[in-house]
Amino acid sequence: MSIRNTELKAVNLKELLVRIQYKEISKIVNDIGDRFPYAIIKGIPLSLMSYNDFFMRKIGDVDFLIDKKNIMEFDGILKKMGLIASILIEKIS
Show pLDDT as tens, one digit a residue, over the chain (93 residues): 455 555 555 556 667 666 777 788 888 889 898 899 988 877 666 677 777 776 666 666 677 888 889 988 988 888 888 887 776 666 655
In a domain, 67, yes or no: yes
End-to-end, the C-alpha distance of the chain in Å comes to 57
> What pTM was estimated for this model as a whole?
0.61
Domain that holds residue 65: 3-80
What is the spatial distance between Cα 76 and Cα 44, in angstroms, rounded to a whole number? Answer: 23
Quote the CA–CA distance of 85 and 79 in Å, as a whole number.
Answer: 8
**Residue 89 domain flag:** no
DSSP 31-59: HHTTSS-EEE-SSHHHHHHHHS-GGGS--
The verdict on residue 92 lying in a domain is no
For 5-16, write each residue's pLDDT tens digit: 555 555 566 676
8 Å CB contact between 81 and 62? no
Q: How many domains does the chain have?
A: 1
